[in-house]
Amino acid sequence: MLAGKRVLLIIGGGIAAYKSLELIRLLQKAGASVVPVLTRAGAQFVTPLSVSALAGHKLYEDLFDLGDEAEMGHIQLSRTADLVVVAPATADLMARMAGGRAEDLASTLLLATDKRVLVAPAMNVRMWTHPATQRNVATLRGDGVLFIGPNDGEMACGEFGPGRMAEPAQIVAAIGAALGGGPLAGRHVLVTSGPTQEPIDPVRFIANRSSGAQGTALAVALRDLGARVTFVTGPASVPPPAGVDVVRVQTAQQMLDAVQAALPADAAVMAAAVADWRVANASAQKMKKDGAGTPPSLAFVQNPDILATVAQGAMRPRLVVGFAAETESVVAHATAKRARKGCDWIVANDVSPKTGIMGGTENAVTVISDTGAEVWPRMAKDAVARRLAEKIAKALQ
Ligand code: C5P
């Protein structure tokens, strides 16, 4: 997948640096050559010898190593690679990148390179969510820097949340995508996500508890495998990912219009929790109490079924995937739903409150297709997304 590609790998100083050794191994297995650079802090976590031995390449550590300047200057070093990868990228290293600093070899290479840069952040949850780090991330994204992760999960420091470095296999997939070689390169995938809001009057609406987390994670996973992703999202509580075409909608009808405008696509993944009904008699003005204490009555009309419309439409993508959030008889209901809607797969889950799935970080799904029901173990929503994205890539091969 990466045959003949050259990756300049900058290993920053964090406990996740140990995973970079595995990353080197996987990159080589994929056919890439790795030119390693170890920061001074990075060398506190992994040894120069293990890095250069695994990479099978000279290790670069110091800007003022005259031998290096004579053999290969930092400008040349920053440009001979096809891609520059920073893994782990610490908060400090990203701050230096965002500030355009050039005070050591790593930051100088990052400033001098004319190649794309992919960073895999790794840090404590608080450090990642700190406004200063988020400002730096936004600056770097604006500069065209690509990000993979961080993932949610338990951290070496004992805390839990976003900050874990992406797994080496995930970084390899992102490198493949960045170099145009991911398994979904050249494919267009449509993803719907989040709840819809159906107005009652200009200030009130009917909605549901969907956070958009699973749909967002899916868009990220598909993007990381190289797909061009159109992400049609209702008002979700998680922000839409970078590197995808975002179309924001509010109602089911708007979502249907946006989905139809985005076709053709190779695959459609409908993770949105679309309202089944909208208010038929929505008021153009804010509804008022009538003084007599009579509550208003709302009449409902059924919304279009976006999944069924796409699955049975003339522009049907080759693969159509729906979701089924159920609170009982999950597999039976989802199997019937797959037939009724005409989609290829249904990703079913139990959203009864006791599972903590709706609005939570984990999911336990069963994938129903024409070959039967595949039960996946409970895992983080981004892990579900990656596994599903890989299954999609395989189906589109
Ligand atoms: O019928 P139900 O809402 O349970 O079906 C869930 C699946 O159908 C999800 O994939 C959801 O995105 C999709 N759906 C839709 N349009 C609707 C209702 C559901 O696309 N109006």
Cβ of 322 less than 6 Å from ligand 1: yes
The closest residue, in CA terms, to atom 5 on ligand 1 is: 324
Neighbours of 295 (CB within 10 A): 7
Cβ of 192 less than 6 Å from ligand 1: yes
Provide the residue count of the chain. Answer: 397
> Which atom in ligand 1 lies closest to the alpha carbon of residue 326?
4
pTM: 0.68
Which of the listed residues 214, 231, 257, 270 should we mutate to test ligand 1's pocket, taking the one with most ligand atoms within 8 A of CB?
Answer: 270
The single-letter DSSP state of residue 186 is T
Could you list the active site residues?
157
Cβ of 272 less than 6 Å from ligand 1: yes
Alpha-carbon distance of 266 to 93, in angstroms, equals 38
pLDDT (tens digit, 9 = 90+) per residue, 49-80? 999 999 999 999 987 765 666 666 888 888 88
Q: What is the H or E stretch that residue 11 is in? A: strand 6-11
Quote the distance between the C-alpha of residue 123 and its chain's center: 18
- Within the chain, all domains assigned CATH 3.40.50.1950 are found at 6-180
Alpha-carbon distance of 346 to 365, in angstroms, equals 10
The closest residue, in CA terms, to atom 13 on ligand 1 is: 307
Which CATH number does 188-395 carry? 3.40.50.10300
CATH 3.30.70.270 matches 6-180: no
Q: Residue 348: is its pLDDT beyond 80?
A: yes
| Confidence category of residue 256, pLDDT binned at 50, 70, 90 | very high
Alpha-carbon distance of 255 to 167, in angstroms, equals 33
Query: Ligand 1 centroid to 149 CA: how many Å?
Result: 29
pLDDT (tens digit, 9 = 90+) per residue, 185-203? 889 999 999 999 999 999 9
pLDDT (tens digit, 9 = 90+) per residue, 84-142? 999 999 999 999 999 999 999 999 999 999 898 999 999 999 999 999 999 999 999 88
- Within the chain, all domains assigned CATH 3.40.50.10300 are found at 188-395
